[in-house]
Structure 1
Amino acid sequence: MYDTARLGKEHGLKSVMISNGYIQEKPLTELCQYLSAVKIDLKGFTEKFYQETCTGELKPVLNTLTTLKKIGIWFEIVVLVIPTLNDSAKEFQEMCLWIRENLGPDVPVHFTRFHPTYKIKNLPPTPVKTLEMARKVALDTGLHFPYVGNVPGHEGENTYCPSCHNIVIRRAGFSIRENHLKNDTCKGCGQPIPGIWA
């Protein structure tokens, strides 16, 4: 990945790393100089969930997130919400408070819908109301850009201005339907909207 990202940057290409967050600080720092953005899967917010469901640990992932913040690269967080395993309001609140206090309110957090497949086929798809609750907890905690994911057409997949609350990017699945940004700011009120915009 390092060599590919370096060559891509030399030729004007943008690279995005998608990761579970298990990477040490030194190689991450070296790699980020050639990346445009990073997406981290934060699979839950308890050590119990990481140990029992992921056979890993939470702390290394949190360390990666704080390292990305320190480096200054654009990054986003995706949380796959799995019924009964990582879907409590308490866990969402603890996660969102940690994100706000350690990473800042502008880090996008995508609460995505689980569908039963692969190793977890015994649980139902995530209720949309659970994703809406997670998004509301994030907003109430002070995060500016929480999203509902894997629910095409849901209002929670749009980007809203944190100042005037107008839609600045209207989406339908992976497609952009409307773009109300002007020079990386909200056309309605002039609030800067952080991100990597084409």
Structure 2
Amino acid sequence: MCPHRCVIADGKFGYCGIRKNVKGKLFSMIYGSISSACADAIEKKPLYHFFPGSHTFSIGSLGCNMRCGHCQNWQIAHSRIDNSDRKMSYVSPEELVDLSLENKCKGISWTYNEPTIWIEYALDCAKLAKEKGLYTVFVTNGYIEPDALDAIGPFLDAYRVDIKGFDSYTVEDYSGADIRVSDDLEDSRHCFYRDVTGIKSIRPILDAAIRAKTKWNMHVEIITNIVPGYNDSPEELHEIAGWIIQNLGDETPWHVSRFHPYLELSHVPSTPVSTLELAREIGVEKGLKYVYIGNVPGHEWENTYCHNCGKMLIERAGFSVREFKIRDGMCTNCNTRIPIVGGFG
């Protein structure tokens, strides 16, 4: 399931804190156990090119296979099932689908903590959701093994994945089939994943993003939370943008979002808006057609513009859509095709 590939002693838990070895059998201890649930705007994920203006029934549990020092949901993501006092509710797959429909949501999103670690539950739910006409979304750090992704791939519509940094190699080193990543991370130019998330290599994340798009035809959007002094160098931003366009295509939305001091990175200042604007310029310069600035309410680049004529097509205010000027998948000004999945609302 997970690239950590934990070897777990009898009676002990894996790195994620929710899988336990019980007399030689591995059990998920959070199947159907929900810590958080909300009918969210899809824009909150953020997904900007996937059923804009719709609501998605968003759920989370406990645990994660990363330990990000600036995690906004650390209270659940950094928790272990054996020592958490978080109140949990059991919701069966059937009940989850019913709740989604009752709350007038168009889909279900596994989010808040890492969906990969409770993939058995996600898979059972996603199968039922598709039968009922609901869309399905993973909001993920992308740290997943190919077999696990292939298990849920036929039932997953959207894959919103973080590329938190670009460690230890340049974009030219990545062909999509073979990657040369230094095993000696002390020699790396960048150490974001090692120093901030607790994992060794970005490779499984990149491989999974490509696989989600090319093998399973999922809608993929990328987010990078830009942290001053950690992953904000122009060189690193060039590499992320270059990798996206080379491996996922120029229509892939890239969200560059503003960091604010938090948790173990409380000493780090908020990202200057000028840094986000530079990141956007870099993405556009590389050839990406849709680069968004996040966590800066009211910024012009939280809106969607036609890449051909420049007309504003989707005006956003935070997580709300104020205007939607796409008809039949086309710009209403110049009839250019706009890569939006699903209709409005």
| TM-score, scaled relative to structure 2 | 0.56
Is 1:153 aligned to residue 298 of structure 2? Answer: yes
Q: What is the letter of the counterpart of residue 198 of structure 2?
A: T
Shift of 1:6: 1.1
AA of the residue aligned to 2:139: I
Mapping for residues 112-151 of structure 1, pairs under 5 Å: 112-151=257-296
The Cα offsets for residues 70-125 of structure 1, whole Å up to 9 and x where unpaired, read as 12210100101001100011111111111111111011000011111122111011
Aligned length: 198
| 1:51 corresponds to | 194
- Of the three residues 304, 317, 321, the one matched with 1:172 is 317
Higher mean alpha-carbon deviation, 133-142 vs 20-29, is at 20-29
The 5-angstrom pairing of residues 17-56 of structure 1 reads 17-47=138-168, 48-56=191-199
- Which amino acid letter does the alignment assign opposite residue 329 of structure 2? D
2:127 is aligned with 1:6: yes
Conserved in 2, the CA contact under 8 Å of 1:15 and 1:34? Answer: yes
Aligned to 1:97: 242
Matched position secondary structure for 1:171: strand
CA distance in 1, matches of 2:209, 2:137: 15
Structure 2 residue ranges without an equivalent (≥5): 1-121, 169-190
2:333 matched residue in structure 1 = 188
Q: Which sections of structure 1, spanning at least 5 residues, go unmatched?
A: none
Contact 1:100 1:142 in 2 (8 A): yes
What letter matches 2:194 in structure 1? Answer: Q
Distance 1:63 1:179 in 2: 34
Aligned position for 1:83: 228
TM superposition shift of 1:197: 2.9
Q: Secondary structure at the match of 1:39?
A: strand
CA contact (8 A) 1:105 1:142 kept: yes
Deviations 1:6-37 (A, max 9, x none): 11111111111111001112221231221221
- Does residue 63 in structure 1 map to residue 207 in structure 2? yes
Q: Which has the larger radius of gyration?
A: 2
Extract structure 1 runs of 4+ deviating beyond 2 A: none
- Identity among equivalent positions (%) equals 40
2:342 paired with 1:197: yes
Whichever residue aligns with residue 60 of structure 1, its letter is P
Alpha-carbon separation, structure 2, partners of 1:171 and 1:77: 18
Q: Any idea what SS the aligned residue of 1:77 has?
A: strand
Task: Find the aligned partners of 2:325 and 2:151 in 1 and give their Cα distance.
Answer: 35
**RMSD of aligned C-alpha atoms?**
1.1
| Alpha-carbon separation, structure 1, partners of 2:283 and 2:342 | 23
Higher helix proportion (structure 1 or 2) = 1
- Report if the CA contact (8 A) 2:163-2:240 is conserved: no
Distance 2:204 2:230 in 1: 20
CA contact (8 A) 2:141 2:162 kept: yes
Contact 1:74 1:195 in 2 (8 A): no
CA contact (8 A) 2:292 2:303 kept: yes
SS at match of 1:15: strand
Bigger CA drift: 23-32 or 157-166? Answer: 23-32
| Whole-angstrom CA distance in 1 between matches of 2:197 and 2:240 | 17
Q: Are 1:163 and 2:324 an aligned pair?
A: no
- Could you tell me which amino acid in structure 2 is paired with residue 103 of structure 1? L
CA distance in structure 2 between the partners assigned to 1:39 and 1:96 by the alignment: 16
Superposition TM-score, scaled by structure 1 size: 0.96
- One-letter amino acid matched to 2:209: L
3-state SS of 1:33 partner: helix
